[in-house]
Structure 1
Amino acid sequence: MHAIEFQEFGGPAVLHVAQVPVPEPGRGEVSVDVAYAGVNFADVLARADGYRVPALPFRPGLEVSGRIRAVGPGVEGLRPGQEVAALTSHGGYAEVAVAPAATVFALPEGISLRTAATLPTVLPTAQGLVHQVGRLRAGETVLVQSAAGGVGTVAGQLARLAGASAVYGVVSRPEKAGEALKHGYDEVFVGDGFTEDVRRATGGRGVDLALDPVGGDTFRRSLDSLARFGRLVAFGNAGGAAPWQIGQPELNPRGLSVGGFSILALAQDDPEALRALAAESFGFAARGEVELPVTAEFPLDRAAEAHRLLAGRATTGKLLLRVAGE
């Protein structure tokens, strides 16, 4: 079968098409004939910096949609031919991928395989940020960094569905603001001056909940954007800065709280919690309450092009690799 691999760390050019054996599922695993594979920033970090790469050569890809090819020993409730979305530890950029059965999800009725490739990471992450960790209450205000990205577009919609009184977004470029405004945001700010924009928009109060995948100085500015008793949830370090450190001097005077969330850590440490989160969040897509915007797709052999766009912060919504298609 064909798969995308890299044998050294570096730029998008290190990605190449390889002819490799078709993987067989082991105990508790499922193999999937891949229709589409999601492209995530974690894949870019893996290729460039070795993020979560145990050894080389390495096959990236954390999420796929498709049809079950085979089930391994001990797997119950899943069958060959069934349409699914799956969260994998790696290997999604391929014609066949293997995933733990615990992170393989039968598709709700009405969800296409194309849309399904966006489900495993985006919807559970947004749900966890807004509800499980962020604990958003009706009437509160929300600030979301990277508001035009895959998670950002969904987080804005979920916050609105949860009864937020105002949802604000931050994007890196002016041309991304229009995309974010389509997905639940009242106002979208551009660039690093968003703290002042938040204070203006909220009459000096700040927001109750801020969601930050960027880290570094953006994390600090998000913290400064909080109202008294506000919460900040960090769910990435896309900016590549040193890990943030925070303590009593920053938190105690205004009663602030900082939390974190990782969908990949949840899948590894507590897959049953992930299944519950996925079941709840997939319902929003099945009922048409949340739009999952796929803004670009590429054939498998053009994975490098998708990486160039994502690494250059030139994208909005979700990027996919089309493998077998529908």
Structure 2
Amino acid sequence: MQPIVIGHRGASGYRPEHTRGAYELAVALGADAVEPDVVVTRDGVLIVRHENEISATTDVAAHPEFADRRTRKVIDGIRMTGWFTEDFTWAELRTLRARERLPALRKASASFDGRFPLLRLRDVFKLMDRVSSRARRPVGVVAEIKHASYFESIGFPIDELFAAEVNTAGWNAGDGRLTIESFERTLLDQVYARGIYGKRIFLLEATGKPADQVRLVGRAAPDYADYLTDQGLYGLSGLVDGVSVPKSLILEIGQDGHVTGASDLVDAAHAANLEIYCWTLRPENVFLAKTFQRGRFRADFGDWQTEFRTIMGTGIDGVFADHPDLAVAVRDELAAEAREDR
């Protein structure tokens, strides 16, 4: 079974993330699914942005009428300054335009700044319906619901809002196209309890604690690392369908920072009857493990092929990629080699 390739916020290596252009291009480049990050507006509309703080991904700072909305907040324990989606109505946010989040690194993508308006989650569902028909293959949506505990604390039941959107869009058909992921397992339980039966994927970090558990029990909250042990993975079996981890947990990295191979985490997850995914495959040196970096500049493409092959050769169930075509190319190479070895 070959891993699925998920366009990380669309084809975000080529177009500003979470835009129509990024999503459409991801499908054209062979992605099996796209990943919208889901946050909420002041009037309860679910929109797709990497975070609820939008200064890096929109032109909001260039709008003098919104200058007084700039503020400081603590989101999941992190102090942030900027403009936040929950302080705007959808009517206001739709006047903004998307910008490349990493303009110094991805200048070609930044040339599309100002071309695309923001999207609601319902727009993404409609778009995937259209492109699936055009591509003559099903294209999934892997919806990452952000900051659920925070939003609940300020009066937004994001699980309820998400369930309503899914049902209205006709995406609760049980056809395998919908996946829900979150760093908060409580949110996954709440969405399931509302009758949304998409695949549930628990996002895990290498460090830190889940925000929902911190909110419930404070310092006694389990670390993400506790879920990554054999016991922790078996404890998740039956409660979620899978886990998704940073690629650093799939690579075995020595004390010198060099990759020595792949870890046994994929096998451990499968032994616990869980699917496992990883994020994020990117070809630029700045994102590659030291072993695979080539050349002098952060934006140069390194030996991404070998890193991608190391990860995708583990039997992993899916990968998130900013450049879906590159991940598809490696997957196809591995599949061809496997056929030749039979």
**TM norm. shorter chain > 0.5:** no
More strand by share: 1
What's the TM-score once normalised by structure 1's chain length? 0.32
What's the TM-score once normalised by structure 2's chain length? 0.31
